[in-house]
A = this chain, B = another copy of it.
Amino acid sequence: MNRLKLPALDPATVADVRGCGYPEPFRSRMGDRSKKKLGDAAGLTRFGVNLVTLGPGGQSALRHWHTLEDEFVYVLEGELVLVSNAGEQRLTAGMCAGYRAGHRDAHHFVNRSAAPARYLEIGNRVDGDNALYPDDDLMWCEDEAGVFAARKDGRRYAATDSGAAD
């Protein structure tokens, strides 16, 4: 096998990342979820492109919407349930979904099948973006020390291993 050179990239050479910025009890709900940060690996900064593998029972994220970021997902393999205000819809390989910035239709993928599913997730990067979670007692707040997770009554969750909202 000859190795690809940038700008080309073989996802097999990109690390699988399992981190998650949510505090408990939300973090565990994501289940078996790993991401290859393809856009970062190619040196992109204006948007992110992740190749996500979601095992049976896994979730893409808490159901959420973004204030300033458009998001797009394209299913490559397996079967996923998209939950949004339109209800539940089953997506298989070759189907996609798009979520525009500021549209108050919270969404996530759940893998209710018995096999892993794979998809690409794309989101532009904007300073000041926030993610909101209508189903869960979680919000992101910011003080002089940075971003932190809090309950909706303002009480902080214990510090997490990452401040990244998703």
Contact = CB atoms under 8 A, between A and B. Distances in A.
Interface of A: 4-11, 38-39, 41-47, 49, 69-70, 72, 74, 76, 82, 84, 86, 89, 91, 94-101, 103, 105, 107, 120, 122, 124, 126
29 contacts: A4-B91, A6-B86, A7-B82, A7-B86, A7-B97, A7-B98, A7-B105, A7-B107, A8-B84, A8-B96, A9-B96, A9-B97, A10-B94, A10-B95, A11-B94, A11-B96, A39-B70, A41-B98, A42-B97, A42-B100, A43-B100, A43-B103, A44-B70, A45-B101, A46-B70, A47-B47, A47-B70, A72-B122, A124-B124
Contact of A46 (B8, B69, B89): B69
Contacts of A41: 98
A97 B101 CA distance: 26
A153 to B, nearest CB: 30
Given A9-B96, A124-B124, A4 B42 contact: no
Given A9-B97, A11-B96, A38-B74, 17 more contacts: A5-B86, A6-B98, A7-B99, A8-B91, A9-B95, A10-B94, A11-B94, A43-B103, A44-B70, A44-B100, A46-B101, A46-B124, A46-B126, A47-B124, A49-B72, A76-B76, A124-B124
